[in-house]
A and B are shown apart, each in its own frame.
Chain A
């Protein structure tokens, strides 16, 4: 379902969801032409990121993972600066030092991005510890996949968060549902003895909910409650947002196996290709959001296509900017190991 919001706000969310989808498609296509290296895309999870992170305010902090592109775009990142960073250009968000694995922007509330699975959980918990001790009403959001629950850092962190009632939201994006990859002998997905991910939350006494990550209303409602709880000093919340893995994520290297998204699939089932029919028809959150927007009278196919064209224009501009941007001067590799202020001369 759609969140209960005005048409204008819903269109804003849709624009961000489309930006994520088109950004990732642009990146996958670009990787077919030039060497971009290994990266992870957020296709299929857009509605989770957009609906959840839209609720954050200035000063709230997000700690994400290797699959971070969608999270930054959901917080309003400039796709040009993102792609520049991913291509290692000096104009990127981190001046080319972080790349796809460490996209970060303090301005957007992403102080550091850990690509070590389970790396972000202690950091997000600690940021909440800091907020709590400083007496602020900011919240910390820990974004991670189901795989991070296999790491000890998660268990140590949620224990601390629960004991101290810290303002942290553990937003676990379980994108392994029906993960065919492992069955096919490819990259293994979630490997946990627990039957349900929330079984790993219950012993800590932290409220946990499992929601459909493609259901904008469910994500927004769950996140609203979690943020309220955090801001009012009631402690952490665990949200498991389930999505079905995009077939293009099945191989170790992302591929546009479903082709570029044709938005008319949202309102015309006959154009959905037979291959991966189920994913497009029922599991693609962006198409579902579009369908619901049209069904409930917030948009027409024409307005959606116009919005999508606007987004695709932005992506072309971003691509040109990133490709034309210079690489950093080699000798600057020695800079910024330490912050200048403080004791290091």
Chain B
């Protein structure tokens, strides 16, 4: 199978969706952020005149407009660019989109995708480095996809585009250079199906989005030390494939969670609660979370490195759990 970059797989997915359905419109244009791959999006814009909307700098207004457009029959994929900007649009995403199907008694569907690049990107400082997925997970009514590979991003995007529910597309610029196999033929990845990114027997590393890549690197280093780690990627937070997570823990009996959210009430906190509630007796040691320290993300490289979940921290956590 051919191997392509994550950024290429993402853009290929967007292109195919635009080609397949005239109701698909892109609103916002920074899907690839300010990375070197951004020219790929310029090509998309040129290929689909009138289908890629350049909004004003008004996240509340244009994200809300995407929701309204979805209500009127469009299938918008709206880009919020840096995830920290999603807070400008929270009233529309959290208080409108997520509630509409429920509070209308199922009358109105909101088929919209909210794309954003989350996390520590290097020098983003406090206002461009958020990982808001836990806040969104605390909002019933949103589906959440968090891909970690070229194959997953395209397959999950195709599924999200078919959904009649609002979907948060948790993306990360540090994934864009990941290379991996992507079929030439069309395919979809159902939501709610976790993927074992690396099989192992000694310990489970549970991670999502870019942290899957970090967990995989850590697992390779650990293998050199004779520790066989299993890396589990839920791929979607809503719906969540609990079974695959619990089965892995039942097999390895040890769990380290790698999560880029701030520690308190982060995605990792929910993973830990799940395993403690449903598989406590399978655990032979306490769960350890490797996550971002509970401080605003600092600018300086040394400070940023200190508070983020690094490969080394994952390795140290594994050694601690197994000791």
Q: Which of B50, B68, B91, B108 has the most CB of A within 10 A?
A: B68
For A333, give the chain B residue with the smallest CB separation.
Answer: B102
Using known A-B contacts A61-B71, A130-B71, determine if residue A125 contacts B65 with beta carbons closer than 8 Å: yes
For B192, give the chain A residue with the smallest CB separation.
Answer: A345
Chain A positions 252-306 with a Cβ under 8 Å from a chain B Cβ: none
The answer on a CB contact under 8 Å between A338 and B68 is no
The answer on a CB contact under 8 Å between A159 and B56 is yes
Q: Which of B9-17, B161-169, B269-277, B293-301 faces chain A?
A: B161-169
A83 to chain B, nearest CB (A): 15
A200 to chain B, nearest CB (A): 15
For A93, give the chain B residue with the smallest CB separation.
Answer: B105
Contact pick for A344, options B95, B108, B239, CB 8 Å:
B239
Q: Which of A50-58, A69-77, A97-105, A243-251 faces chain B?
A: A97-105
Using known A-B contacts A61-B72, A163-B56, determine if residue A94 contacts B62 with beta carbons closer than 8 Å: no
The answer on a CB contact under 8 Å between A156 and B143 is no
B residues within 8 A CB of A343?
Answer: 143, 159-160, 162-163, 165, 167, 190-192, 239
B residues within 8 A CB of A160?
Answer: 55-56, 58, 61-62, 65
B69 to chain A, nearest CB (A): 4
A residues within 8 A CB of B73?
Answer: 130-131, 134
B residues within 8 A CB of A124?
Answer: 68
The answer on a CB contact under 8 Å between A337 and B140 is yes
The answer on a CB contact under 8 Å between B72 and A97 is no
How many A-B pairs with Cβ below 8 Å? 188
Using known A-B contacts A341-B164, A345-B192, determine if residue A116 contacts B91 with beta carbons closer than 8 Å: yes
B161 to chain A, nearest CB (A): 10
B residues within 8 A CB of A184?
Answer: none
The answer on a CB contact under 8 Å between A336 and B71 is no
Using known A-B contacts A122-B63, A156-B62, A159-B61, determine if residue A339 contacts B101 with beta carbons closer than 8 Å: yes
Give Cα A126 to B67, complex, Å: 7
Chain A positions 70-128 with a Cβ under 8 Å from a chain B Cβ: 92-98, 102, 104-106, 111-112, 114, 116, 118-119, 121-128
Give Cα A256 to B70, complex, Å: 40
Give Cα A112 to B100, complex, Å: 6
Interface residue A133 (Cβ < 8 Å from any Cβ of B): yes
The answer on a CB contact under 8 Å between A130 and B70 is yes
A297 to chain B, nearest CB (A): 43
A residues within 8 A CB of B67?
Answer: 122-123, 126
A residues within 8 A CB of B192?
Answer: 343-345
Interface size on B, residues (CB 8 A): 52
Interface residue B282 (Cβ < 8 Å from any Cβ of A): no
Using known A-B contacts A122-B92, A133-B74, determine if residue A112 contacts B108 with beta carbons closer than 8 Å: yes
B residues within 8 A CB of A159?
Answer: 56, 58, 61
Interface residue A157 (Cβ < 8 Å from any Cβ of B): yes
Contact pick for B69, options A93, A121, A127, A344, CB 8 Å:
A127
B residues within 8 A CB of A63?
Answer: 68
Of the four ranges (under 10, 10 to 19, 20 to 34, 35 or more), the interface on chain A belongs to 35 or more
The answer on a CB contact under 8 Å between B74 and A129 is yes
Give Cα A159 to B61, complex, Å: 9
Give Cα A133 to B76, complex, Å: 11
Contact pick for B107, options A94, A122, A128, A156, CB 8 Å:
A94
Contact pick for B68, options A97, A130, A138, CB 8 Å:
A130
Contact pick for A98, options B72, B104, B109, B140, CB 8 Å:
B104
Interface residue B96 (Cβ < 8 Å from any Cβ of A): yes
Give Cα A152 to B105, complex, Å: 29
Give Cα A131 to B72, complex, Å: 6
Interface residue B23 (Cβ < 8 Å from any Cβ of A): yes
Interface residue B136 (Cβ < 8 Å from any Cβ of A): no
The answer on a CB contact under 8 Å between B191 and A126 is no
Per-residue A-contact encoding for B32-62, CB less than 8 Å = 1, 0 else: 0000000000000000001001011010111
Interface residue A342 (Cβ < 8 Å from any Cβ of B): yes
Contact pick for B65, options A104, A157, A339, A341, CB 8 Å:
A157
A281 to chain B, nearest CB (A): 40
The answer on a CB contact under 8 Å between B69 and A129 is yes
B25 to chain A, nearest CB (A): 6
Q: Which 3 residue pairs across A and B have the least CB separation, nearest first?
A: A122-B64, A126-B68, A156-B61
List 20 additional A-B contacts (Cβ < 8 Å) besides A95-B105, A111-B100. Answer: A97-B103, A104-B103, A105-B107, A106-B104, A111-B108, A121-B64, A123-B68, A123-B71, A127-B68, A130-B69, A130-B74, A153-B61, A159-B56, A160-B56, A163-B56, A339-B101, A339-B165, A341-B109, A342-B165, A343-B165
Which A residues fall within an 8 A CB radius of B?
61, 63, 92-98, 102, 104-106, 111-112, 114, 116, 118-119, 121-131, 133-134, 138, 140, 152-153, 155-157, 159-160, 163, 335-339, 341-345
Query: Please, could you name 27 A-B residue pairs with CB atoms under 8 Å apart, sorted by A?
Result: A104-B104, A104-B107, A112-B100, A112-B103, A112-B108, A116-B91, A116-B96, A118-B91, A119-B95, A122-B63, A123-B96, A126-B64, A129-B68, A133-B74, A134-B23, A140-B72, A153-B60, A156-B58, A159-B56, A160-B58, A339-B109, A341-B109, A341-B163, A343-B163, A344-B165, A344-B192, A344-B239
